[in-house]
Each structure stands twice: as C-alpha cells, then as structure tokens.
Amino acid sequence: MPRDVFTPDGARAVTAVAPAKINLHLGVGDARPDGFHDLLTVYRAVDMWERVTVSFAGGAAGSGDDDEITVTGPGAPQVPTDRTNLAARAVDLLREEAGSDARIAIRIHKGVPVAGGMAGGSADAAAALVATDRLLGLGLGRAALEERAARLGSDVPFCVRGGTALGTGRGEKLATLLHARAEQHVVVALAAGGLSTPRVFAELDRLRAERAYPEGAERADPEGAEGAEGAERADPEAAARVRAARPLPRAGGVEPLVEALAGDDPAAVAALLANDLEPAALSLRPALRKTLRTGQEAGALHGMVSGSGPTCLFFCSDRDHAIAVAAEISESGVAREVRVTRGPVGGAHIISDDPSGVTGPGVDSTGK
C-alpha cells in the first residue's frame, strides 16, 4: 500500500457512480426478530445514477472538524450532511479498515429520487465504497466490497453489483441472474415528498395483522378481487370492508418471471411483476392510486409502486412507448416529475481518478 495515500494532500479526487434499483418482484415475509423482513426479490439496476467524489480534505478525522459533505442535485436539501449520511458511513468503514485518519471530503450529486423507493441513499453508499477503496489504496475486490456494503444497508450490495439479481435474506444476499437480459423501458413518476422505508414495512405488518383478524368484518371470498374492484367505484366504504375481510395478497415464486426475463417479450415480463409493499405504500399515500390509474390509462403494460414508494413505475414495450406514456402522465399533473429510464445497467464503478483533484469529471446528466 503506497505510504502517501495516508498523507492528506488535498489533491487527489476519485469519483464513482452507482445506479438506482427497481424491484421487479418484491416478496416480503414476516418481520424477523431483528426487525428486518425476509425478502425474495428480483432487483434490476436502471439508468439513473448517483455520483460521489471523495478527496483528501487536509487534517485528521476526529480532530473536531468533520469531513465536509456536500450534496447537490434534485432533493439535495433533504439529504443529511452529518455522519448518518450513508456515504459518510461507507467512508468511515473503509477509513477505519485502512487504519487512516485522513479527513475525506465527500461530494454527492443526486440523480436518483430522494426517499423514493429506488435506493438513492444505498447508491450513495455503494459509490462511496468503490471510490474510497481506490482513494485509500485498499484494493478490496468486488466480493469484499459487497460484504462491507451489506453492513451499511440491505440494498447497498445490489447497488455495488448492478445488472439483474435475485436477492434473499433481507435483500443483501445476491445471485446474479445472468440470463435476464431482456431490456426494459420504464417510466418513473416521482411524487412530492418521500416515504420512510421502515414506516412502509411497519404499515405492511399492520395491514397484514388487521386483515388476518378483521374487526367487525365477515370473512369474504379471498378470490373475490373483481367484486372488490366493482364495489370500489360504487361504494368505497363497502369496498373497504370487502378488502379488510381478505388477507393481503402475497407475491408467489419468481421462477416464471426469471424465465420471462430470459426472453424478449416485455408484455410477458410485465404480467409477472409484483410488489408486496404496494398496499402499504398506497395505504400511507392514497393519492398514488390516481397516479397508477393514470399510467394504466396512458397505456403502460403495467404500473406499480417502486419498492417502498412513493415513486411509481410504468413498464412499456419500447422507448417510444415509454416516451408517449411519460408525456401523458406528465400532462395529467399527477406526478411531481416524470422520467424515462431503462435497464439493466451495470453496478458501481469509478468514472474518474484525478490526481490533481480538479473539481471532477465532465459527466452528462446520467452520471456516466
């Protein structure tokens, strides 16, 4: 390990990017004793990127001056700039491992919605791990970085790896789905404000408990979904009672989806998408129902809440279709902002390693 990497010189700057994730399948088990839920998920990385630059800031960590953390881009004011920031925790972890006390400045540029259910904070941590590993000359391989990533958050290992992967455990155990090459074009509808992931998981637990033991509601035919749809329009209160008498649906196995992802039919893939967190996100943010309806009416193959929400995703047959659906959603005014993206893309990687530390790379808006 070169000695001078531990000498704060205020010069070298390393920049890495990491992608947003979507969950094509998000099956959530019951709460575990550690507070997490067992997941069975199919992650896919999409073409929206967080960009993190780390550089020596001069001075020693813990000397009273915290590392400087600056955040730019959409939603930046909502991102903490103290040690709770996930990118800062990634830097702390590797700095300790390197036995370094160098102060490290962290610059984050947001390209992923904040608290939107697309792992923006996890992508910051993934990019920070990859960049800091290089800055400190640790030379950890991908497997070691993913192990450190799992200590920082359930989605962080996937943001390091990218592509399409099966996630188990609390989401941190990954198996890349090598054959899942089918490209997807997705409209991303951003909502005003965020949703807290722990709150959405807790709401799912609450809804499941309530529906397992509904108060004052007779148990109805659990297959009666169509009846409830019709009743929703005619009598929302009666529809709520029918819903309350049905256990929440649970996403099944992933085999059919994995098979469809190896083919090239976007409609076949769209028909198999599932998100167990959706009812909880809709319960906390009922306005999202209108967003989902608008996307369906605009002709999307499938619409669903992204992870814990409140971002909504609309799956389309190709890029032109996605642009047309995006235009309609945008015009309807149901979303704060609408973007078109595609996946899969790769994982976290370095885009610039600048020994002179000049402000950073010339990158386009995708962060590449």
* Residue (8 or 307) nearer to ligand C5P, CB: 307
For 239, phi then psi, to 5°, come to -60, -40
Residue 15 touches ligand C5P, criterion: CB under 6 A = no
Q: Tell me which stretch binds ligand C5P (CB under 6 A): 61-69, 193-201, 209-217, 231-239.
A: 193-201
Nearer to ligand C5P, 43 or 314 (CB): 43
Q: Which of 113, 116, 163, 171 binds ligand C5P (CB under 6 A)?
A: 171
CA-to-CA distance for 162 and 348, rounded, in angstroms?
7
The stretch near ligand C5P (CB under 6 A) out of 35-43, 131-139, 233-241, 261-269 is 35-43
- Told to check if 43 binds ligand C5P by CB under 6 A, we report no
- Segment interacting with ligand C5P (CB under 6 A) among 33-41, 76-84, 109-117, 250-258: 33-41
Select from 10, 193, 198, 247 the one that contacts ligand C5P (CB under 6 A): 198
Least CB distance to ligand C5P at residue 152 (A): 8
Under rule CB under 6 A, residue 37 binds ligand C5P: yes
Report the nearest approach of ligand C5P to the CB of residue 79 (Å). 15
Question: In the annotation, is 21 catalytic?
Answer: yes
Using CB under 6 A as the binding rule, the residues of this chain from 68 to 107 that contact ligand C5P are none
| Binding status of residue 203 toward ligand C5P by CB under 6 A | no
Evaluate the CA torsion angle 328, 330, 335, 339 in order and state its sign: positive
Q: Cβ closer to ligand C5P: 28 or 351?
A: 28
Selecting among 47, 124, 133, 155, the annotated active-site residue is 155
Q: Please, which residues bridge with residue 315 across strands?
A: 186, 302
As measured in angstroms, the least distance from the Cβ of 204 to ligand C5P is: 9
Residue 170 engages ligand C5P in binding (rule: CB under 6 A) = yes
Q: Cβ 86 to ligand C5P, closest distance in Å?
A: 8
Distance, CA of 104 to CA of 110 (rounded, Å): 19
Under rule CB under 6 A, which residues in 144-163 are in contact with ligand C5P? 153-155
Residues serving a catalytic function are 21, 155
Residues at the interface with ligand C5P (CB under 6 A): 35-37, 39, 153-155, 170-171, 197-198, 201
